[in-house]
Copies of this chain bind each other. A is one copy, B any other.
Amino acid sequence: MKLQEELEEFIRNGHKQFMSHLSIDCVIFGYHDKQLKVLLAKYAHLNGWGFPGGFILKEETLTQAAARILKERTALGNIFLQQFYTFGDNDDRIHSWGSKFFTPEFKQEFGENNWLTQRMVSIGYYALIEFSKAEIKPDILYDEFSWYPVTGLPQLLFDHNEMAEKALSTMRNQLYLQPIGYNLLPEKFTLPEIQVLYETILGKELHRRNFPNKLMSLGILIKLDEKRNIGQHRSPYLYKFDLEKYEQALSKGVALAF
């Protein structure tokens, strides 16, 4: 196994900087033009796809670690990541992914009990962004990044398929408790456009009349004196977010039932 110096140093001495047994994985959902996708990374030395992840420095918080990992791996900055679940139940996690993925040569070179081959518990974080805005750059751990539709994920490394499901269901549940849309929609949008956003993320159709009524009842939308012209008899009103009320709803929570 031929490794760059930087990677070799990381394998050999990473345990001095990072906490053992703990990793972080980032599930980044991207919405764009009626599609919901998720960002996958090709793991350079494992020949497979998974979520971008990394380790926690002994002197940083979990939130700092998650933001740093995402930024280092993907160049995505200023993204609000939310912790959603900590993974440590899968049998393979206990009996060590390392022993499955790291070769006898690896162990001979770096030690039978190298910190990377030990049991890892992984803390999952997710975010939802407008995916056309993301700039992504590979690094020493990953060859390549790609956006995949959430409904058609390939077989992923480790327990990352389970991670994808859990992140998606958490994000969907969150829609009932917190508003979304800001940064995902243009500044002015129609009610059908925000309905499509919700429907795309939830993966199901919502009632044509009830949904806009419920959304309006949250008091976070301002109806503008302006229409979009989309056809001879179709010119729906435009709306924008009332940002103050939107922020309040984010911190206090809302209860939407579709």
Chain A residues at the B interface, C-beta cutoff of 8 Å: 19-22, 56, 58-63, 83, 85-86, 88-91, 94, 119, 121, 123, 173, 176-177, 214, 253, 255-258
The CA of A168 and the CA of B123, in the complex, are separated in Å by: 21
Number of copies: 2
B residues in contact with A86, CB < 8 Å: 62, 83, 86, 123
Q: Chain B's nearest CB lies how many Å from the CB of A62? A: 4
Q: Is the CB of B60 within 8 A of A253?
A: no
Q: Which 10 A-B pairs have the closest CB atoms?
A: A257-B257, A62-B88, A61-B89, A255-B257, A86-B86, A19-B21, A86-B123, A63-B89, A173-B177, A62-B89
B20-A176 in contact (CB<8A): no
Query: Across the interface, do A85 and B88 meet the contact criterion of CB distance under 8 Å?
Result: no
**Structural contact, B58 and A119, CB atoms closer than 8 A:** yes
A256 to B176 CA separation, bound complex (whole angstroms):
9
A119 CA to B58 CA in the complex, in Å? 8
Is the Cβ of A62 less than 8 Å from the Cβ of B173?
Answer: no
Question: A257 — which chain B residues lie within 8 A by C-beta?
Answer: 176, 214, 255-257
**Whose C-beta in chain B lies nearest to the C-beta of A256?**
B257
| Complex interface: chain B residues within 8 A of A56 (CB) | 88, 121
Shortest beta-carbon distance, A30 to chain B, in Å?
A: 24
A59 pairs with B176, CB closer than 8 A: no
Q: With the chains together, A85 CA to B82 CA distance in Å?
A: 11
